[in-house]
Structures are given as structure tokens and as C-alpha cells.
Amino acid sequence: MPVRFDGRVAVVTGAGSGLGRSHALLLASRGARVVVNDLGGAVDGSGRSNTAADRVVAEIEASGGTAAANYDSVSDPAGAERLVAGALERFGRLDILVNNAGILRDKTFAKMELADFRAVVDVHLLGAVYCTRAAWPHMKERNYGRIVMTSSGAGLYGNFGQSNYGAAKMALVGLMNVVKLEGAKNGILVNTVAPIAATRMTEELMPKHALPHLKSEYVSAAVAYLCSDVCQVSGHVISAGAGYFARTQMMEGQGVFIEDGAAADPDAVAAAYDRISDLSHATPFASAPEYIDKVLGRFA
């Protein structure tokens, strides 16, 4: 069975260009009614315009789909509330939320103004928090929801000059890890995509010879799957780009128990550090209690 979204309503933030536009077009082409949110600002978040969102809505409608525009900033809690309220008013429901909106203000950590750090966190992290919080009660009431966060290799692995962006992107994984647990009993699945694509935000950072392969559509394929009824996983981080798809996860090594608690001093840690840092037998944990059970299970 093909992945379809007939009868579903999706909100995609930052959907006026790049990845968000691609996500919105794909969801609409497969039957979803889509709310296209975009402030219409520059890459650094300055300025605003209705043009970007309106253009994508026009594209969707020209292809026979159904869409509505929203111009609110997701970094404003009231704006996120209006976004969700508008989707409910126009289409009567909300099934899918793709938290994609973002800005860039790159600079080395030592030279970065705190205002620029805060601005990036406000859009990427708090924007996702505000939109998810606004959508949550409606998804919970219907016992159905698909939420996709947007992380990045800069957050998962680091990237020079992007401490604000990387911090926000890794924080989104932490947000997912908690709300996946809290939404499980109400059928709300929460996953994350880590894109590799050439957009107006990233094009200058990518190798020129690779640009033709870094199409947003490749990332959107993973996002659409995670938004679908076919998807039954929650808490997954999927790297996607250039035709490459892979799950990534925080792992923990086998670890070392220094049996005599009194001897667990810095010298003991130094002596055992090669074994402590060995990841050859690393395993994942589904939740913090599972991790704690490993540590405390030997005392049961």
C-alpha cells in the first residue's frame, strides 16, 4: 500500500521554501490538507513577508491539492497557538505537525552575541515546543498524532561556528525522547529527521560538486514516512539526504563497575578509562528508567 494522507491535516512550519516547502508539497500530493506556515523572513530571521507561504499554497492548489497559509512566527507562543487554531478552524482537525522552521546566525562561540544564540534557540527549539504544546491536546483528544522534529548533524555531531544551532538541534532530540513517552498511550508518535540537503540555509556550506544530489525531496521522503499511518515507531532519529537513510541513536558502552564504592575515586576512573570509553559493545536505552535499571539492577 502506498503512503497516503487522505483525510489528514498537516501543519508544516517554515514551509515557504527549502525543506519545509518540499515537505508540504509531498504531503499535499499524497492527499493531506496542509497549513503552510512561514514568517517570510531572511535566513537570519529578520524581516517578514506573506509571499513565501502564499507561493507554496498556490503551488499546492495548482496541483489539485488543498492548503492554507499562515504567517505567524513560531518563536511567539501566541503565534503558535494561532497557527494551530487556524488549522482547526479551517480544516476541523490536526493530525500531523512537522516542526521545520529555523534560522541561522553562525559565528564562533567566543564571538557570538548572546542575542544571536537566543534567537536561534527561540526559533528551532522553543518554536517546536510552542507548536507541539498547542497541537498536543487536540492530538491527545483524538488518540492520534504524528509529530516530526528537525535536528541536524550539527547537533548530533557538531559543526564549527554553530554552537547556537547545534545546541538547539540536539535539544530537540531530548524533547522528542520525553514526549514520545508521554504521547504513547494516546497514539501520538514523535520522531526526528536529521536532514542533509542544499537549501538557502545550507547551500554555502555544502561541496559544490554534491549540490545536484542534495535535493530536499530526499529528506521529505523520510518525513512523509514518519508522518504516515504506515509508521508505527516513536523516538527514532533518521538521517536523510542524497538518497541515504539511516537511524542514529545515543548509545552507551558496556561500562565498568568499580565494585568498592570507597575506591571509586579519580584514580580508579583514570585507571579504568580505556574500558569506560570502550563502545565496542554499546547498546541503546529506550528511556531513562531503563538506563537507571542497568546501573542499579545489581543492588536488587
By annotation, the residues acting in catalysis are: 165
**What is the distance between the alpha carbons of residues 99 and 108, in angstroms, rounded to a whole number?**
26
For residues 71 and 39, is the Cβ–Cβ distance under 8 A? yes
For residues 127 and 68, is the Cβ–Cβ distance under 8 A? no
| Sheet of strand 237-241: strand arrangement | 66-70, 33-37, 9-12, 96-98, 145-150, 188-195, 237-241, 244-248
Query: What radius of gyration do the chain's Cα atoms show?
Result: 21
> In terms of C-beta density within 10 A (0-12 exposed, 13-18 middle, 19 or more buried), how is residue 18 classed?
buried
At position 27, the amino acid (one-letter code) is L
For residues 102 and 146, is the Cβ–Cβ distance under 8 A? no
Mutual orientation of helices 18-29 and 51-62 as an angle, nearest 10°? 30
Q: What angle do CA 155, 156, 157 make, to 5 degrees?
A: 95
Residue 129 neighbours by CB under 8 Å, 6+ apart: 175
